[in-house]
Structure 1
Amino acid sequence: MARCCGLLTIFICVLLMLSLCQANLSSYVDDGYGHEDGSFESDSLLKLNNDDVLTLKSSGETTSASSTVSVASFGAKGDGKTDDTQAFEKAWKKACSTNGVTNFLVPKGKSYLLTSTQFKGPCKSLRNFQILGSLSASTKRSDYKDKYHWLILEDVNNLSIDGGSTGVINGNGKIWWQNSCKIDKSKPCTTAPTALTLYNLRNLNMKNLRVRDAQQIQVSIENCNNVDVNNVVVSAPGDSPNTDGIHITNTKNIRVSKSDIGTGDDCISIEDGTQNLQISDLTCGPGHGISIGSLGDDNSKAYVSGIYVDGAKFSESDNGVRIKTYQGGSGTAKNIKFQNIQMKNVKNPIIIDQNYCDKDKCEDQESAVQVKNVVYKNISGTSATDVAITFNCSEKYPCQGIVLENVNIKGGNASCKNANVKNQGTVSPKCS
């Protein structure tokens, strides 16, 4: 009898324990966890850390949070004085080699001093390069082991570069400008680093970035495919030499939108190998405008096609929309359209120059890059010089298929040489 009572007591205890476990499990599910492995089931945003990196989790899905690699975790001080180059390189190596969706983070609120730095792939699963703080270039020219690049990002696919509302790339270019032969004729002409070079990238999204005072070119996009540039602000003094805002070469399928560029050279320069480029909602000035070229230098071949500019404002710039080619070159610049553009006090609002030369001595040559199928539509504003439209084309390879449609630029005349021009709608001034 005593043995039966003991067994009954054990049985009752087991029942009580099962009831408690069931209650705990119900509470566990009510807290938002829908699976035994503890995966989160919610429509909310899950904060990963204190650096404001957010990852969206969709309801009913089991997903692992993306990992974030911060340069602060690798010793970057961000005090604007300490050289943080090695910390950035170590953090990049970790982020590039990590499995799973990975974010490379430059925290906000600090300035990181860097010398020449290479961010090289290929990477396993790096998807985000978040520049929320400031990257500041060394002002010592001797610190640059690479005389052509300051920051270079290469061989990474499917990447987003996001500056948020706080990210800045500062080239501190004044020391380089002072030693340029274009500023001081007694100085030898030497190369200065490009601030940010984007090389051999596929499926790149760059947005919300501020780039200023580059040593030379501000942003160079080279040998890339499928690039989207949005809400980028580029700035440098109007007299800073060779500080092109966005330089594009050997790149296909690129979009530049909602950007503001004021600098000492071309706002956007478009070089050989550029195909299918769309520019919209651009503000330019000071600067040398949008320039296709120069093409064909040193008797080279050059091919540019599919350039479409729809929506731009030029203010106090040296040029508006320009195509420039050297004598002696070959190839084509074709299928180009500039439309919905406003000019305010621009020195050369519309210009094609097939006889461009930036050398001390220029010789007449017979060959030229062929310019054809170029449309100028819905362009208005004012010229700062007596010539608002210039078509200075080659005698042997005249400009073909040039269309002016609803063009009204006040304050200057048209100078047209060796150009096949068709006027549509209201056009002023006209080629005589």
Structure 2
Amino acid sequence: MKLFVTAFLTLVSFAAVANGASMIRQEAEAGAPCQLTGTYKAGTDISSCDTITVGPLTVPGKVMLDLSRAKTGATINFVGTTTFGTAKWAGPLVWISGSHLTVKGSGTLDGQGDWYWKQIPSKITRPVFVKVQNVVNSTISGFTVKNSPFRTISIVTSQQTTLSGITLDSRAGDGVAKNTDGFNLSKNDHVTITSNTIYNQDDCFAMQSSYYTVFSNNYCSGCHGISVGSIGGAEFGPTTTVSGLIVQGNTIVNSSNGIRIKAVTGMKGLVTNVKFINNKLQNVRNAIAIHSNYNRLAGAYNGYPTSKVVISDIIVDGLTGSAGQVYDIVVNPSVVSGWTFKGIAVKGTTGSCKGLLIGPC
């Protein structure tokens, strides 16, 4: 890999050979722009760079593109294509962390998911593609994440950050790929995900916990829907709470669900103050799916709504389009309250609402 620094040199510059490829590294003044190109080497130091241009780049298998040490206020710009080698490991392939970052670009990150998808029956270990962790007061936008082996963008313990205009494209895995969640969130505060395009084979958006999240004006295709959950744990607390979520103005097409809440059987948690506003559906199986009987190990509903996850103050205001059935609701009546449904104009059979003492069906 070549780390180019286009600034005055301060200490030393030297050439070496690593992994059979020429590597040039230059020590530079603080504030220098840098470029990662060629073949990436683990441990490459970007901490002094104001601007990091990534690509064209090849990242070997079992090597993480580590952008977690970007300095405060840095700009990371993806250009060209960055291709990730294949290997059985948990990843992530890319790790982003930092404060006041601007992560952008017209480039493409290619995870070569086909290598993993065709081995799925063997339950191989697959890497998360992009991990956004401890990112604060930042923007992430514009680039393409293609052919995800597993979950595409995992957002964890981040705050006051917006992700927009990103294309998540795993269409090549249609009929083969599994668990290619688009955006997966845990333990965040004030994260906005807006105006993105997602083609995948699992949840377009999945949230296990987080506060004050906005998911708006996104396009989701081929997915399992926009999902809260699966949610539930041994105790009530921040890791089992979703509060202050707004899901607004999204389009969901050719999917198994439109909007969904799935709570794990026997587990505790809280889903509250959630608003689904003016979302559109086209050719989905279930427009509104809310379940207290999700079996996490089986990855399916088990028929018994024993979840202790409290689901309260849920508003669905404006839902249009077409679905096989409008309602697929199976809940524990002792933990649900304060639900409001209005402006539901979805063409399809009514479906059923089991466990609701007062409900729309």
TM class, shorter-chain normalised? 0.7 to 0.9
User: Is 2:162 the partner of 1:162?
Assistant: no
Kindly indicate which of the two structures has a greater share of residues assigned to helix.
1
Question: 55, 58, 76: which is aligned to 1:112?
Answer: 58
Q: Is the 8 A contact 1:403 1:421 kept in 2?
A: no
Question: 111, 125, 138: which is aligned to 2:85?
Answer: 138
The answer for the alignment partner of 1:347 in structure 2 is 285
User: Is 2:212 the partner of 1:276?
Assistant: yes
Distance 1:249 1:125, change over 3 A: closer
Which 5+ residue runs of structure 2 have no aligned equivalent?
A: 7-28
Distance 1:234 1:121, change over 3 A: closer
The answer for the alignment partner of 1:70 in structure 2 is 35
Q: Supply the RMSD in Å over aligned alpha carbons.
A: 2.5
Question: 222, 226, 231: which is aligned to 2:156?
Answer: 222
**Partner Cα separation in structure 2 for residue 147 and residue 277 of structure 1:** 27
Paired residue type of 2:341: L
Q: Is the 8 A contact 1:401 1:420 kept in 2?
A: no
The answer for the alignment partner of 2:48 in structure 1 is 97
Kindly indicate which of the two structures has a greater share of residues assigned to strand.
2
Ranked by relative contact order (alpha carbons within 8 Å, sequence separation 6 or more), the top structure is 2
Q: Is the 8 A contact 1:235 1:245 kept in 2?
A: no
Q: Is the 8 A contact 1:400 1:421 kept in 2?
A: no
User: Is 2:274 the partner of 1:336?
Assistant: yes
**Partner Cα separation in structure 1 for residue 102 and residue 358 of structure 2:** 43
The answer for the alignment partner of 2:116 in structure 1 is 176
**Partner Cα separation in structure 2 for residue 172 and residue 366 of structure 1:** 40
The answer for the alignment partner of 2:26 in structure 1 is none
Question: 186, 192, 198: which is aligned to 2:126?
Answer: 192
**Partner Cα separation in structure 2 for residue 126 and residue 251 of structure 1:** 20
SS of 2:47's equivalent in the other structure is helix
Distance 1:335 1:208, change over 3 A: same
Distance 1:125 1:283, change over 3 A: closer
Task: Please list the CA deviations of residues 281-336 of structure 1 after superposition, one character each: whole Å capped at 9, or x if unmatched.
Answer: 11111111111000115x45411111101101111111111000011111210100
**Partner Cα separation in structure 1 for residue 167 and residue 306 of structure 2:** 41
Residue 364 of structure 1: how far off its partner (Å): 5.0
Paired residue type of 2:337: Q
Residues matched between the structures, number: 327
**Partner Cα separation in structure 2 for residue 388 and residue 364 of structure 1:** 21
User: Is 2:92 the partner of 1:149?
Assistant: yes
When normalised by structure 2's length, the TM-score is 0.84
**Partner Cα separation in structure 2 for residue 283 and residue 97 of structure 1:** 37
When normalised by structure 1's length, the TM-score is 0.70
The answer for the alignment partner of 1:129 in structure 2 is 76
Paired residue type of 1:104: I
Distance 1:421 1:227, change over 3 A: farther
Q: Is the 8 A contact 1:157 1:204 kept in 2?
A: yes
Larger Rg over CA atoms: 1
Residue 366 of structure 1: how far off its partner (Å): 4.7
Paired residue type of 2:356: A
Paired residue type of 2:276: F
Q: Is the 8 A contact 1:275 1:307 kept in 2?
A: yes
Distance 1:364 1:354, change over 3 A: closer
Q: Is the 8 A contact 1:391 1:417 kept in 2?
A: yes
Question: 226, 229, 233: which is aligned to 1:293?
Answer: 229
SS of 1:411's equivalent in the other structure is strand
**Partner Cα separation in structure 2 for residue 243 and residue 281 of structure 1:** 20
Greater Cα offset, 413-422 or 372-381: 413-422
**Partner Cα separation in structure 1 for residue 259 and residue 303 of structure 2:** 26
The answer for the alignment partner of 2:15 in structure 1 is none
**Partner Cα separation in structure 2 for residue 133 and residue 421 of structure 1:** 55
Residue pairs, 1:299-378, within 5 angstroms: 299=234, 301=236, 302-359=240-297, 364=304, 366-378=306-318
Identity %: 22
**Partner Cα separation in structure 1 for residue 57 and residue 306 of structure 2:** 53
Paired residue type of 1:247: N
